[in-house]
Amino acid sequence: MTEMKINTHPVSQEELMAYLDGELDAERASATAAHLEHCRECQLLAADLQSVARQLLGWQVDGPSADLDTRVRAQLNGQQPRKRSFSFTGSRLIWGGACGVVIVVLALAISTRNNGWQRLNRESASLRDVERLDRPRAEAFDVTGGTAGEPGQPAPLGVPQVSTPQGTGPLVVHKAELTLTTREFDKTRDELERVLAIHQGYIADLSATSPPDSGSSLTGTLKVPAAQLNRTMAALKELGRVDRESRSSEEVTRRYVDMNARLSNARNTEQRLTQLLRDRTGKLSDVLAVEEQIAHVRGEIEVMQAEQQVLSHQIEFATIELTLSEEYKQPLTVDHSSALTRLRNAAIDGFWNVAEGVMGTALFLLTYGPVLLVIAGVLFFPARYFWRIRKPS
Amino acid sequence: MVSDDALMLDFQRGSREGFEEIFERYRQPLYSFFRRRLSTSERAEDLTQEVFVAVIRGTSRYEPRARVRTYLYGIAVNLLAAEHRRQKTAEIREVEPGLASNESPDSSIWIREALGKLEQTEREILMLREYEQLSYSEIADVLRLPVNTVRSRLFRSRLALRQYLEPASQAQERQR
């Protein structure tokens, strides 16, 4: 830490600190500022004090839960606030014990059921892994209660109604690919809409083609609640013959938690800067610098909020890439024209073929004839000379 | 922007909006005040609630002699002191364990450890200044100390903290 002798400076160390804190009156502040401009020792001390303040900013805390608002407003309304801390009285102990027993019994029952399910379903290893990751999130992301709006009408991307995953266990983004072949394309397409409506899914992207010489096909991106993925896939597989199926999952728990932490931190910083702006009176340049910093932090917050919503949506809604093809059937065409007409048509075709052949030959000769004549003329005399030499006399 | 005093007087006259605005302005700062000094977020929320409950119950007795901010932090400091007495644990233990931090855990630990080495009153003065952004006179009102004492102790605590944080900053420099 920088040491300085008081008798050599017109301002004391404490005054210098008070100046940095904006606590000096105007006269002392201007004297201190003038001294600080040319005193290297005081500049070092000021830098040390500011460094301490900056380092202390590294300790940020999270915000209170929404429960606090409820409790305080309940008190404002004259109700008794709920308090978290309570003593274990006799009746509470009994109720707590009974609840504990029920929870343990339920957990054992669920565990036994899951073990049986695993024994019965011996699918491929990759599919088993996907199922294992899928099940813990099923409860947390079960949106059958309509968290995103009306049933069958999930909120589009970016709309704040998208609920934030808050459960325990891993947060997983699910993806699946399914290629189907069907005999009745139009009917299957209607069925597809029905399956999505049942499972609260929706079509994010769809394109269909019907070329004349092959069957219709459809490629689309479907979004279904993660908890409904297994049931939706099973229902889709009923729509036709499965040509290809793949599943993948990506755990994003760490990414989600990091994003939340960064967002919370940025909000705290913004609040702190706003408080600073509100409470402190300083130089105009300082105020402008703080305002600029607030604008910068606000921009970062908005970007992070958008990223968080996208990630939440990806977690909440699984993606299914669906390809649906129609079995192509060659159409049976019958020529109903008479034999005479067919002979006449054949004769006309023959005539046109001869005419096309003659015309083609004429065009070839006219196009390349002159060049061929020149080449023949050039080669004629050397060829005749060699012929005479080799000819026995 | 309507001043805190005007909002409190509005609330005293029966305006619910006055209290709502005060609550909106101070819920986070007061929660942060308790959160940095207590080991659990639950207790921090409970005590934050207690501050506003005290405001609601004491509305009729409120007199605008001091700033609302000082009034609120005065209640908070009293509640914290009562909490410490209740827990009968060392002050330093209140600062150290289980503090939710969204910053880098390393820097947070260094700061908490460094603050824990300060004398209790000096630490409180420093934290009220740095985290709650109270002025010298407000700190003096809240802690019932002379302003000059606040200033000298604040200076002393900053010098001490600079030394305590030195190893951390050196370690960070080495890492860079």
Check whether residue B82 and residue B48 sit in a common domain: yes
Q: Which residues from chain B sit within 8 angstroms of residue A18, using beta carbons?
A: 136, 151
Distance, CA of A279 to CA of A286 (rounded, Å): 13
Reference B87, options B38, B46, B157; nearest CA is B38
Q: Domain residues for B128?
A: 103-176
What residues of A are in contact with residue B44 (Cβ under 8 Å)? 64
Q: A281 falls in which pLDDT band (50, 70, 90)?
A: low
Among candidate residues A274, A291, A326, the one where a domain is terminated: A326
User: Which pLDDT tens digit goes with each residue over B42-80?
Assistant: 899 999 999 999 998 888 777 777 788 899 999 999 999
* Gap from B100 CA to chain A (nearest CA, Å): 6
Task: Give the mean model confidence (pLDDT) for residues B130-156.
Answer: 93
**Tokens 């099940």 identify what position?**
A135
Q: Is the pLDDT of residue A164 over 50?
A: no
**CATH label of the domain that carries residue B71:** 1.10.1740.10
**Domain-located, residue A243:** yes
Q: What is the domain extent for residue A117?
A: 91-254+315-326
Do A170 and A227 share a domain, yes or no?
yes
Same domain, B125 and B87: no
Structure tokens at A350: 């023959």
For the stretch A15-20, contacts whose Cβ atoms lie closer than 8 Å and that sit 24 or more positions apart, written own/partner, are: A16/A42, A16/A45, A16/A46, A16/A49, A17/A49, A17/B151, A17/B154, A17/B155, A17/B158, A18/B136, A18/B151, A20/A46, A20/A49, A20/A50
Q: What is the pLDDT of residues B22-39, one digit of tens each?
A: 999 999 999 999 999 988
- Which of B 7-36 lie inside 8 A of A, CB atoms? 16, 19, 23, 27-29, 31-32, 35-36
Q: Are the C-beta atoms of B134 and B69 separated by less than 8 Å?
A: yes
| Shared domain check, B49 and B16 | yes
Tokens coding A324: 């649906």
Instruction: Kindly state whether A70 is in contact with chain B, defined as any CB-CB distance less than 8 angstroms.
Output: no
Residues 249 through 268 of chain A touching chain B, CB cutoff 8 Å: 261-262, 264-265, 268
Inter-chain touch B45–A65, beta carbons under 8 Å: yes
Write the CATH number for B128: 1.10.10.10
* Final residue in a domain of this structure, among B83, B100, B117: B100
Q: How far apart are CA B161 and CA B171, in angstroms?
A: 16
> Quick one: B54 and B88 in the same domain?
yes
Model confidence band, residue A393 (pLDDT cutoffs 50, 70, 90): low
- A–B CB contacts, 8 A cutoff, strictly below: 126
**Total domain count, chain B:** 2
Note whether B16 and B73 are same-domain residues. yes
Residue A369, CA distances (Å) to A362, A363, A364, A372, A383 in order: 10, 10, 7, 5, 20
| CB contact (8 A) between residue B16 and residue A76 | yes
pLDDT above 50 (res A3): no
Q: Which of A1, A59, A279 sits opposite B108 (nearest CB)?
A: A59
Asked if A253 and A171 touch (Cβ cutoff 8 Å), the reply is yes
**In this structure, are B114 and B96 located in the same domain?**
no
Q: Which of B23, B111, B163 has the CB atom closest to A59's CB atom? A: B111
Compute the distance between CA of residue A175 and CA of residue A247 in angstroms, rounded to an integer: 6
Out of B28, B35, B101, the one facing A271 most closely (by C-beta) is: B28
Cβ contact A135:A142 at 8 Å: no
Q: Considering only CA atoms, which of A202, A193, A205, A207 is closest in space to residue A236? A: A193
Outline where DSSP puts E strands in chain A.
172-182, 202-209, 217-225, 241-251, 317-326
Output phi, psi for A38, to 5 deg.
-120, 0
Same domain, A223 and A115: yes
Q: Is residue A220, in this structure, part of any structural domain at all?
A: yes
Among A1, A89, A5, A11, CA closest to A49: A1
Q: In chain A, how many domains are there?
A: 2
Q: Report the 10 Å Cβ neighbour count for B129.
A: 23
How far is residue A38's CA from residue B12's CA, in Å, rounded to a whole number? Answer: 53
Q: Tens digit of pLDDT for each residue in B5-16?
A: 888 888 888 888
Rg (CA), chain B: 18
B111 and B54 share one domain: no
From chain A, the residues in CB contact with B151 under 8 A are 14, 17-18, 23
| ipTM confidence | 0.82
